[in-house]
A and B are shown apart, each in its own frame.
Chain A
Amino acid sequence: NAGVTQTPKFRVLKTGQSMTLLCAQDMNHEYMYWYRQDPGMGLRLIHYSVGEGTTAKGEVPDGYNVSRLKKQNFLLGLESAAPSQTSVYFCASSIGVLNIQYFGAGTRLSVL
């Protein structure tokens, strides 16, 4: 099992460009999450999904959109990137809301 796989690992964008981060899990987990990690701050939840076809806003959703068309995939989109979105992005998944979360390796994004 690969666990949770994120692509790409690194990306540099110019302000205003768009991109999609892909998260894939092969553990048949219902719950999937997108976080961002910034220096001096704890991980913050952007969006999450409690099952295929569902999404919900987290703590810092502005500027991001998500989709969960297939149970194993959770996509995070930036429609018009801003320097404030420079961060490390982590995807995670869990069997249920009360279970531990498994994390991907992270995507380091720089917006110039």
Chain B
Amino acid sequence: KNEVEQSPQNLTAQEGEFITINCSYSVGISALHWLQQHPGGGIVSLFMLSSGKKKHGRLIATINIQEKHSSLHITASHPRDSAVYICAVRVTTSGSRLTFGEGTQLTVNP
């Protein structure tokens, strides 16, 4: 079983919908990252969080340390949000390493 599991693997939404992507992990972590991979392949870090909630524009990331679960929410989704969203965790015993989920492919249709 992977240490980081994302759901769903694929998600299709209509423009304007509220979107939730989930990330569950099975190990102790010091931080969790959310990244976005554009259709062209480039990867951008969206959030790094170790507790609570962070917001940037229409994106909101939350983490529940006790439940070992994080969610990425997108409000008022837009076709330009179409991308792969990747969850990654810094395992407490792994030093500098991040362990990545397989990603969630999001498609937002106009």
Contacts and interface: CB of A to CB of B under 8 A. Distances in A.
The majority secondary structure among interface residues of chain B is strand
Interface in A77-112: 88, 90, 92, 97-103, 105-106, 108
Given A31-B96, A58-B97, A103-B43, 11 more contacts: A33-B96, A40-B102, A42-B2, A44-B100, A45-B98, A56-B96, A97-B90, A97-B95, A98-B31, A100-B33, A101-B33
Give the interface size class of chain B. Answer: 20 to 34
A31 B96 CA distance: 9
What's the interface size class on A, roughly? 20 to 34
Interface of A: 31, 33, 40-45, 48, 50, 56, 58-59, 88, 90, 92, 97-103, 105-106, 108
